[in-house]
Structures are given as C-alpha cells and as structure tokens.
Structure 1
C-alpha cells in the first residue's frame, strides 16, 4: 500500500510538472502595477508566451470567471448589485428618523443630519483602502470582511445610548460599506468581456442610486408607526441577509488572485516551491500600495482637467440627490401636508425614474451594438447618455421648482422627481463607463477619485439644505440648484 501511494504521488507530480525539455531557471521577479483589475490583466498578458517561464502559473480557459455560466453570472451580479443598494440604503435610511433621534438624544435636528453626512464621508474614504486590499487579497475576501464589519458596527448605531456613539459608528459603517461601491464594478468587468459589459454595468450602476430613494420610503413607514430604533434593526436584518449571500454565492473573480491561489495549490501538491503567480512576486508593501492609492486619485483630480470636470459634475448631481432628503419635508410636508410615511412614498417617483432611465440606457447600448456588431465603443461614445442626463437634470429641477407650491397638485412635483431620477442614472452610467474605458490602466484610481468627490458633496449638501430652503423657499432654492446644473450641462 505504501508503494502504491508513493507511485500515485509521483505520477501526480509528473503530471503537474513543466516539460523536461524546458530549462528550469529561477524566474525573474515581475512587478505588478498598483491599479487592480487592469494591472492584473497586464500581468497575465506579459507572461503568456508558452515556454518562457514554466513556473509562472496561468489559468485554464474553464478557470477564468468569464467562462462562468450565464445563470451563475446573473446570480453574482444580483448579489453584488443588491449589496451596493443596501450600502446606499443605509446612508439615507436615517432621513425619516431624525426627529425621533433629536427627541431621544435631546439635540437639534441639525445635529442628527450628521448621521447622513458622516456615513457619506466614510464612503468617500473607504475606497482609498479597500482598493489596494482587493489588489492583494482578491475581491471575495474584501466583500466578506467589509460586510461582516458593516453588520457588526451597525449594532452600536441601532442601540446607541448617546449621540456621539451614534455618529462615530455611522462614520465607521459608511467606511466599511464602501467595498460594494468601489470594488464591485471590477467584479462585473471580471465576468463579462468588453463588448458584453455594457448592460451588466448599467444594471449595477442603477442599484446604488435606487438605495438613497428607497431608504426614506422604508424609514418613513417605520418612523410613522414605531420607534426610530426599528429603522436600524430592520437595517441589521437586511445586512445580515447580504452577509449570508456574500459568503454563499460570490466566488473570487479577480484573475491575479485566482492565479495566486492556483500557484499555492501547485506548491502544496507537488512540493515544488518554484511555482508562483505575479502577486507572489509583488514589489512593495501593502502600506506602500495604500499610500499610492491615496495619492493617485488626487493626482488625477488636480492634474487632469477632464477627470476633474466630470467628477465635479457628477458630485453636484449626487449632492443634490442627497439634499432631497432634507428638501422633501419642505416640498411635500409643509407645502402639501404629507405625513412622514407619505413623504417617504414621494420618493417612489425618483426610484421609478431611475428604473426607466436604466431601461433607456440599456436600449441605447443594444442599439449601438446592433449598428456596430462585435465592436467595442470608444470611451467618448459612453458620454452620449450623459448628454441626455445633462439636459434632464436641470429640466427636472426647474419643473420641480415651479410646481412645488401648495396650489399645484402633488403629482406634478413627483413626476418632476421621476425625470430627475432618470437624469441621475444617465449622468452616472455615462461617467462610470467613460472613466473605466478612458483611464486604463489607472481606471481604479479614476473611479476612486470620482467616489471621493461625489461622497464629499453628498456629505456637505444635506448640512445646508434646511437653511437654504427656509430662506429661499422651495421654488427659490430648487431653482438655484437648477441654475447651477444648467451652467454645468455642457460638461459631458
């Protein structure tokens, strides 16, 4: 029996070992660029010559995420998109709970608004750290750890005994939830080829923006009928369901990480320590990667005018989206007499517009591919839907400004917010796909810069919304926002 076992192990080693006619020289070190997805693909391409390095591990065709079945890709996309929706849902769910929190903690509602702003600030800073971690350890471990921490740190938010505890952990949960808003876009591109990625990206892009509209809708019903703490208890349940789905349904899709795991399996199976993947020979420490990750987005913002202008444009749109959490109580609460849960229901208009906008965006993508079969669009082609958004956003804000009076039926401003929701989807889907296409191999840095800029604006805008609407009234304040977006309309 011992002899048979030894012969079996020897046969396995011979099967996995490189051809004998290839010289087994110690392979040189290969530096892996810092920008995750594109860097990994570059590494695969660099060392793909057969026989060049017999110990450099590659993936077989069936091991690549792009070879997953369509059904499996759809399930992974659904979990990723739902996780992004849950993250942004958590950012806005505090909106209807502000009055109850102010009474419990004996603070003003201006202080409770920080629950939105600090969460958004955490989302702004999170990508600078989770991006490098995903480049070293892969996407799946980052999802699992970040969402487990998101779940754990939401408990102090739900059961906080003091406003300072609540605010500190709102920032921490925002930081932990950033993975699905940053790394998930790379997971989508891991699974679909360049000419197929448009529709999955459009679906994923919609979800982080439905979340902010869904949060006030759900929390409006909760806070109208029970304690504000149930807002966060419901959020805990939702996060826990996503944690289970992440661990059960999302495999690793980052090819450099898959090659690293395969190299480790080969070393363990053969006992030959010479098998390696590019990530095993990565130069520089994780701390250096994080420093580079923090530096590059700001370099793009300061040195690249195209990146700066598009990021400022989308940041203003995102800031206005978060400003609506404070504007709706004026427009629909004071002017139209809506109670808390009906104010939340008014967000259905915006959410419906986002879904319709995604449908139109998919139709544009399909129509383009029918006219150019098998071709990949140029980066500038993606800005076509952004041009629609640049018109739809200010038009919807003018419509909302001059139909927000008490004498106008409430359906008119709700329809205006539907057009605004569609415009938001057009703006962001165009910008995201343009940045990923135009800034290779620094697409990860370009996306991190955009996430930072728009999250900072999302943190800032709710802080002055109440004062602006109190001073300028609903028509003047909304028209001011419309004027700013009119000036910005030529940018895409």
Structure 2
C-alpha cells in the first residue's frame, strides 16, 4: 500500500505546497546539495556581482551526536514520553468529564438537553479546528513552544468554564479550550518519532496512544463522582488539577526534539551561517500568505491527496466517533434499562478502560514477540529498506493489529446492543465495552504506526493532524444524534446500524 504514493513525487515537485514526505528515509538523513544558481555557467562581465555562497546544509555532527534526540538517555526519553502522554490524557479527559453533568447543566440553565450535549461535543470540534492551525507550528518553530504557549491558554478557558453563568458561555469556552488543547495533542506522534527509532517505537507509542482512550474512559467516572457530590462545576476544577500535575509541573523539563530547530539553534550558537527559513527575508504580508498556503494547509493537503492518509483516517475516525457516541448514550441506556444512578453508570466506563489496557499489553507483546524478531532478521540478512518506508520493515507489518481490532469492534457492538435490549446482566454489556475499547485501540495503534513509519519524523505531526481533523469532527457530531437514535431505534438496532 505504501508504494501507492510513488506517483505523487512528480506532482509534489511542481506543487506550491511543501512536500509532505521525502522520497526515502535515507534521503532525509543525507545533506541536501545546494540549490542550483540560475546564473551559474553564464558569462559575466567584470562589473557583475560574484555568485552567491549558499549556506551549508545542517546535519548531526556524528551518528552518536548527543544533540540527536534518538541518542538521549532512556530516562530522558521516557520522561518526555510520559509528559506528552500526560498531555494526551488531560486533553481527552477534558472532553468526556463533562458527560455526567449534561442533565445538571441543562436543568440549571433551563436549556434543552440537546444544547447541553452540544456543550459536551463542542470540545471535540475545537480539537478538530485547532489541529490544522497548530500542529504544523511544531514543525516550523519546534515542539517545545507549542506546549508552553497552548496549554496555559487551555487552562484559562477551562477555568472560565467553571465560572460560567449561562449555556452560551460554556459552549464558547469549551470550544476554545479544545482549540488550544489541539496543538499539543497533535504533535505527540511527531515527538515520539523524533526520539525513538522505528524498531523501538511501539512500546512508547502504545503508551501515548492509550492515553486518548483512557482519558475519555476515566472522565465519566470521576465526573460522575464530583457531579453527584459537589456539582457539575467541579468537573472544571478536576481538569485543572490533572493539568497541573501531569502537564504544567513537568513542562519546564520538556526538551526540544525537532531536528531542524535543534540544528539551527546550535549553528547560531557556533556562529555558523544558518540556512534561511522559508519565511525569513519576506514582507509580513507575503510571509503570512506563504505560511497559510504552505504550512497551515499541509494537513488538509495530505488528507485530500494521499490515499494512505484518507483511507486510514476514515477508518480510525469512524471508530472514534462511535466511541463518543458511546459516551453520550451510556447514561441513557443504563438509566432506562438497568436503573443505574450517575455514579454507577460512570463505573461502567471502566469496561472501555480495561479493554484499552489489555490491548496495550498485547501490543507490547506483539512488538517483542513478532515485530522485533522480523526486524532483527532483516538486519541479520542485510535486507534493504523498503521503498518509501522510514522503518526497517514494510509499514504493512504493523497491520495485523488492525486485523484483530476490526472484528473486536464489530463483536463488541453486537454484544452491547442486543444484551442491553433484552436486559441481560450488566456484566455482559460491560464486557462488550471492553471488546470495543480493545479493538479501537488496536485499530488506532496500527493506523498511527503505519502513518508514522511511512511519513517519518519530519512530517508525521502534520499527517496525524489530518487524522485528528476527521477523528474529532466525527467525535463531536456523533453524540448529537446518538441519544435520539437509541431512543427511536432501541439499542439493538442502533448498534446494528453503527456496525453496517
């Protein structure tokens, strides 16, 4: 499948959009030759200006260059992985912790339930719109500034949500909270690609990928506890607590990891000639136009022109939308069919969390017992790297996870729908939730690793930003009709409709 992009090269060479991927990973690490001077080999008079000296292309000093994030110590790598996973956990926890308070908010502000549900789902739409604007910033200016600028602004909007006095304020503030949470969420895969070699990336990537599923699973549980005892406004204070502990405290120790930024910073310290960035030496209006046309549009360009990105994004995004449809419908299903209160309903979300944890363990075992032996075999036999792959093996070697995850999702949906319709013991739909969470984790992990192995560390942030666009748009829109679909069709036919 990865070879389908071979036809894109000639079109990229003539496109006004920044190329989304180098020809190969080997070419990525080679110093690029200086651009050809159009006046070269042309006769010049004695009064003409001499040819310009092009600055050298920057690269690591040696393969063991300590500045290279892939040469960092394991402690430093894992701390960075923990920090970026904490960002993903907080950003997605904030999306679902509001769920148990939907009815309370609607009652306090005398609003229809659908409007209160919009206040819940608007956060995902903020994540969708924030990704395209902010994720490429990490590739232009570095990963670290994104954390220090976007997350404090996110915390301020969450703080305002806790003091909101009407529904319109909640909707607006939660949208912008999601908007400013998106940058750090979108750059996670790129950060891990900076630090970890492809053959060693599965374990830290599984930790990072688990966070966006554990966050939404923990949100309704803790949100139900504080809503039932302290009120819905405490969901905002809960988000701020997790933000401080998991993100703000370790943020000062978050190191820059993006290669071009690191090399440019070192060259400036050494007094070397630094190659100009695309936006330097431009007037502000031309620089803004160039930035919008080339940098901000890169995720959408990849989504619309890359069959790989379009196919994998559509599949993983639909499953993500089903996940948030679960969150919106769970309270209604367990209240009407099992008579659970809000706290008991929140506990049922642990089924998804357990499924995600089981999937994470299986992903680690899959990597150690199947993927890495194939890598060692390729190295021992000196097999050439696959064309258009940044890893030692073909990106398709990541797909067995999705082959298992797809059936798990389908079986989980069938079990949940028909078990709740006939009021089978609550443990059965809870197990179905676990199957659904496990399958969703498998599919998303396979898609992310495939995209990361295909597009490499330089462009994976934009590739995953395009993934986030679809995921969060569907995650924000599915809850708006999920409850009505369950009420009109019943759980068995509603889930059958989702399966088909």
Interval of TM-score (by shorter of Structure 1 and Structure 2): 0.7 to 0.9
Check if 1:421 corresponds to 2:437: yes
Q: CA separation in 2, counterparts of 1:42 and 1:289?
A: 25
- Equivalent residue runs for 1:27-38 within 5 Å: 35=20
Determine helix, strand or coil for the equivalent of 2:338.
coil
Check if 1:317 corresponds to 2:319: yes
Q: Choose which of 214, 226, 246 in structure 2 pairs with 1:222.
A: 226
Determine helix, strand or coil for the equivalent of 2:199.
coil
Residues 218, 363 of structure 1: alpha-carbon distance in 2 compared, 3 angstrom cutoff: same
Q: CA separation in 2, counterparts of 1:217 and 1:255?
A: 40
Q: CA separation in 1, counterparts of 2:331 and 2:264?
A: 52
CA RMSD of superposed structures (Å): 2.7
1:81 positional shift:
0.5
- Equivalent residue runs for 1:3-42 within 5 Å: 35=20
Note if contact 2:84-2:188 (Cα within 8 Å) is conserved in structure 1.
yes
1:446 positional shift:
2.9
Determine helix, strand or coil for the equivalent of 1:46.
coil
1:184 positional shift:
1.3
Note if contact 2:18-2:295 (Cα within 8 Å) is conserved in structure 1.
no
Q: Which moved more, 1:54-63 or 1:308-317?
A: 54-63
Q: Give per-residue Cα distances to partners, 1:334-381, cap 9 Å, x unaligned.
A: 111111011110011110000101111121111221244164221111
Determine helix, strand or coil for the equivalent of 1:344.
helix
Tell me the equivalent position of 2:385.
Answer: none
Tell me the equivalent position of 1:16.
Answer: none
1:116 positional shift:
2.4
Note if contact 2:193-2:452 (Cα within 8 Å) is conserved in structure 1.
no
Q: CA separation in 2, counterparts of 1:427 and 1:439?
A: 18
Tell me the equivalent position of 2:93.
Answer: 89
Q: CA separation in 2, counterparts of 1:317 and 1:188?
A: 24
Tell me the equivalent position of 1:276.
Answer: 274
- Equivalent residue runs for 1:373-392 within 5 Å: 373=376, 375=378, 376-392=392-408
Check if 1:168 corresponds to 2:172: yes
Q: Give per-residue Cα distances to partners, 1:204-235, cap 9 Å, x unaligned.
A: 11111111111111101111112110111111
- Equivalent residue runs for 1:358-377 within 5 Å: 358-367=360-369, 368-373=371-376, 375=378, 376-377=392-393
Tell me the equivalent position of 1:158.
Answer: 162
Tell me the equivalent position of 2:84.
Answer: 80
Note if contact 2:20-2:298 (Cα within 8 Å) is conserved in structure 1.
no
Tell me the equivalent position of 1:4.
Answer: none
- Equivalent residue runs for 1:80-229 within 5 Å: 80-229=84-233
Tell me the equivalent position of 2:414.
Answer: 398
Q: CA separation in 2, counterparts of 1:147 and 1:135?
A: 18
Check if 1:474 corresponds to 2:491: yes
Note if contact 1:101-1:112 (Cα within 8 Å) is conserved in structure 2.
yes
Tell me the equivalent position of 2:72.
Answer: 68
Determine helix, strand or coil for the equivalent of 2:396.
helix
Q: CA separation in 1, counterparts of 2:351 and 2:137?
A: 38
1:63 positional shift:
1.4
Residues 183, 36 of structure 1: alpha-carbon distance in 2 compared, 3 angstrom cutoff: farther
Check if 1:289 corresponds to 2:291: yes
Tell me the equivalent position of 1:17.
Answer: none
Q: CA separation in 1, counterparts of 2:270 and 2:333?
A: 64
Q: CA separation in 2, counterparts of 1:201 and 1:98?
A: 33
Q: Choose which of 19, 22, 30 in structure 2 pairs with 1:45.
A: 30
Note if contact 1:332-1:338 (Cα within 8 Å) is conserved in structure 2.
yes
Structure 1: gaps of 5 or more residues: 1-30, 268-273, 485-492
1:479 positional shift:
2.1
TM-score normalised per structure 1: 0.84
Q: CA separation in 2, counterparts of 1:88 and 1:337?
A: 28
1:99 positional shift:
1.2
Q: Give per-residue Cα distances to partners, 1:255-292, cap 9 Å, x unaligned.
A: 1111122122223xxxxxx5215648868735523333
TM-score normalised per structure 2: 0.83
Tell me the equivalent position of 1:307.
Answer: 309
Q: CA separation in 1, counterparts of 2:292 and 2:114?
A: 34
1:442 positional shift:
5.0
